[in-house]
Amino acid sequence: MKKYVVLILFAAIAGTQVNAQIKALGDKKPAKSPCTTLVGDEMLPGMADTTTGRSVSDNYKTWENGAVLLVKFMNNTGSPAIRERITRYAKEWEKFANIKLNFVPDNTPTTNIRIRLGSRRDKLGHNSAVGIDNDQRAQARQTMNLDTSDFLDHDFFLNDLKTGGPFYKFLVAKGKDMKSYTYPQFYNDVIDFPSPLPRFAEKVAKGTTMHEFGHALGLLHEQSYPGAIKWNKDTVYKYYEQYDWDKAKTDFNVLEISEQFFTNGTAYDPKSIMHYSIPAWQTVDGYSVDENYEMSDGDKKIIAAIYPKDKKISALAVPKVTVSNFVKLEVKKDDVKKALIITPYFNVRTGAKLANAYYVARLTTEDGQYYIATKSLKFNWGGFSGTYLKMNLLPNTKKTYNKLAKKDLQLVLPYKEIPELAGKNFRVEFTVYQNDVATGKLDRFVTYSLSSPLSLVR
């Protein structure tokens, strides 16, 4: 009986001491890493989760309906428990979309989606390539980052710490100074704690996983819906400065992106899993949105419309031209033909609809900053010296240009059509454009390459 009383007194004293220490932490409790997926940008070291959009979506980046996507975890990281959860939560999209997420072994050489599991220490946060941009990433690189330290149940460990439980004893055994213990130390130590039972914040793991896989399927951030949010721009700029975003990047990825893509006829949906949480201080009218952890009815409807199970081609499908494996741009002077011969080496793939594309070569100044004006009526693109080919590309077509010795794609620019450059060096810029369905204009940029400096003496 005396031993039992002593244990109770010890636990009470320890609990009182730890509670006092926790109250004295004095640090601001860290928030969950934000989503930092960037539209059209590589995922660089130091990036937090910045993916943008949803039923605000980029219909040019959605996969073909019925696609089977190969998904793997990278670097043999992540416990079986965390992998099982990510797999299960990702597959929630399959219930509503005609799409298959096939998780394959880590050593599978070629996949569509590659997941890197990290923590707060690597500062990569949560992010994903958008839709078919996943296939533009090198196979050795991840297409998705997940900060799994956000998936741990920090409230459980905080309570354990306050009550002098196993986590508290783990810290003491490590020689931690509990009198000056801080929240940053706490979040770091939770990662290292060898818990016999995984303690996850299930709703965070589920919501974050579904959000990032929404991006991987082509959806963008719902807060970018046109006119939905009255942003307090100054505070938004300051907020994203901590992720090394300048004003232009914040404007494009947060404040203006809804004007770039498709709303698909849907209404603004603050309950969307693709809606980022917005604190009142980020808006001029105090509007705020709590973090969402489940798919909304709107999410289910839009993903079912983009990937319908009852038809072969979605009514929302747009013509797609995807360029990959751009090996080189070769420009040679042919004094027999008295012309520049421009030979690009690349692959092109189309979607389920007939697509028109323009392969364009233009002359630029040596620094590549300015196009060279021309009076030529035939060898002219927008008033600048150049040449182009209009291509009608059949649906579901794959093509590799200039793979064989006999070239199958070359653009010719006669010397006599080139403006007099007074011996100055110039470059050739090669671009691919297609019509933008949303605007009806030829402004859908696909790829770009710039030659080495050239000179022409006539």
Distances in Å between the alpha carbon of 410 and those of 418, 428, 430? 17, 13, 11
For residues 69 and 29, membership in a common domain is answered with yes
Domain match, 347 and 305 both: no
> Within a domain: residue 123?
yes
Range picked from 52-66, 117-131, 329-343 for highest mean pLDDT = 329-343
Look at residue 167 and tell me if it is in a domain: yes
Whether 137 and 238 map to the same domain: the answer is yes
Q: Which of 13-27, 358-372, 389-403 has the lowest mean pLDDT?
A: 13-27
Q: What is the CATH number of the domain that holds 15?
A: 3.40.390.10
Domain boundary among 272, 298, 316: 316
**Domain end among 281, 316, 351:** 316
Report helix, strand or coil for 249.
Answer: helix
- Residue 24: pLDDT band (50, 70, 90) is very low
pLDDT-based confidence at residue 223 (cuts at 50, 70, 90): confident
Identify which has the larger pLDDT, 5 or 416.
Answer: 416
Tokens 């798919």 belong to which residue?
295
Instruction: Tell how strand 355-365 and strand 384-393 pair up.
Output: antiparallel
Q: Categorize the per-residue pLDDT at 71 as very low, low, confident or very high, splitting at 50, 70 and 90.
A: very high
Task: For residues 228 and 282, state if they share a domain.
Answer: yes
Phi, psi of 436, rounded to the nearest 5 degrees? -90, 115
**Does 3 fall in a domain?**
no
| Mean pLDDT for all residues in the chain | 84
Give pLDDT, residue 220. Answer: 83
pLDDT at 454: 87
Start-to-end C-alpha separation, the chain:
107
Q: Do residues 33 and 169 both lie within one domain?
A: yes
Q: Are residues 163 and 73 in the same domain?
A: yes
Which residue in the block uniquely carries the two structure tokens 């965070």? 204
Task: Please work out, in degrees rounded to the nearest 5, the angle formed at the alpha carbon of residue 210 by the alpha carbons of 208 and 212.
Answer: 70
Residue 6 maps to a domain: no
Q: What is the rounded CA–CA span in Å between residue 82 and residue 104?
A: 16
β-pairing, 384-393 with 144-147? unpaired
Let me know whether 334 and 388 are in one domain: yes
The verdict on 278 and 407 lying in the same domain is no
Residues 90 and 221 reside in one and the same domain: yes
Domain end, chosen from 316, 342, 367, is at: 316
According to the model, what pLDDT value does residue 222 have?
A: 81
> What digits encode the pLDDT tens for the residues 282-329?
999 999 999 899 999 999 999 999 999 999 999 888 888 989 889 999
Is there a domain that residue 163 lies in?
yes
226 and 110 in a common domain? yes
Residue whose structure tokens are 């040449």: 387
Do residues 184 and 39 share a domain? yes
Pair (307, 326) in one structural domain:
no
With 60 as the cut, is the pLDDT of residue 183 above it? yes
49 is a domain residue: yes
Q: Picking from 28-42, 338-352, 410-424, which range would have the lowest pLDDT averaged per residue?
A: 28-42
Query: What pTM does this model have?
Result: 0.80
- Distance separating alpha carbons of residues 421 and 224, to the nearest angstrom: 46
Domain that holds residue 403: 321-450
Compute φ and ψ for 304, nearest 5 degrees: -70, -30
- Token pair for 411: 């653009």
Number of domains within the chain? 2
* pLDDT 10s digits, 191-218: 888 877 778 999 999 999 999 999 999 9
∠92-136-120 over CA atoms, to 5°?
60
* pLDDT of amino acid 407: 92
CA distances to 74, 99, 146, 226, 266 from 55, in Å? 29, 17, 22, 11, 7
Q: Is residue 271 part of a domain?
A: yes
